[in-house]
Amino acid sequence: MSEHSDPGRPASSHPESRRTDAGHYTPSPTSPQLHPFSMECPNCGASTEVNATQGCRCPKCNFEFTWFDPGQDVVAGRFYEVLTGAKYNCPQPGGGWVIVHG
């Protein structure tokens, strides 16, 4: 399991970061609200629907998915830093972050 010290850095700075083509959303031009999307759980590989900013869980391993919109890089970085245990930083195509943790 990988841990990254600074999820606020670009994905290219995190060689172990995992993104999937299915793990993306299209932000609304008038609102930062989440548009539901599915992505592969970086912990176990199960397809997981992310449809809320927090509380979505992988159906297989029960890891929690916490979504941050594209303007929340600093908040996502701070959230990631305080987590202990297994955690994954998943930058999303088009902006935004999903932090997955157990």
7 in Cβ contact with 89 (< 8 Å): yes
- Domain hosting 78: range is 11-101
pLDDT score for 93 = 84
Asked whether residue 31 is domain-assigned, the answer is yes
Structural domain count of the chain: 1
Asked whether residue 44 is domain-assigned, the answer is yes
Please compute the mean of the pLDDT values over residues 5-26 and round it to a whole number: 39
Please compute the mean of the pLDDT values over residues 5-18 and round it to a whole number: 38
Q: With H, G, I as helix, E, B as strand and everything else as coil, classify residue 12.
A: helix
87 in Cβ contact with 20 (< 8 Å): no
Asked whether residue 6 is domain-assigned, the answer is no
Q: For 1-102, list the strands marked E by DSSP.
A: 37-40, 47-50, 56-57, 64-68, 87-91, 97-101
Asked whether residue 34 is domain-assigned, the answer is yes
> How crowded is residue 54: how many other Cβ atoms within 10 Å of its Cβ?
12
Class of residue 70 by CB neighbours under 10 A (exposed 0-12, middle 13-18, buried 19+):
middle
Is pTM, for the whole model, over 0.75? no
- Indicate if the pLDDT at residue 79 is higher than 90: yes
- Indicate if the pLDDT at residue 61 is higher than 60: yes
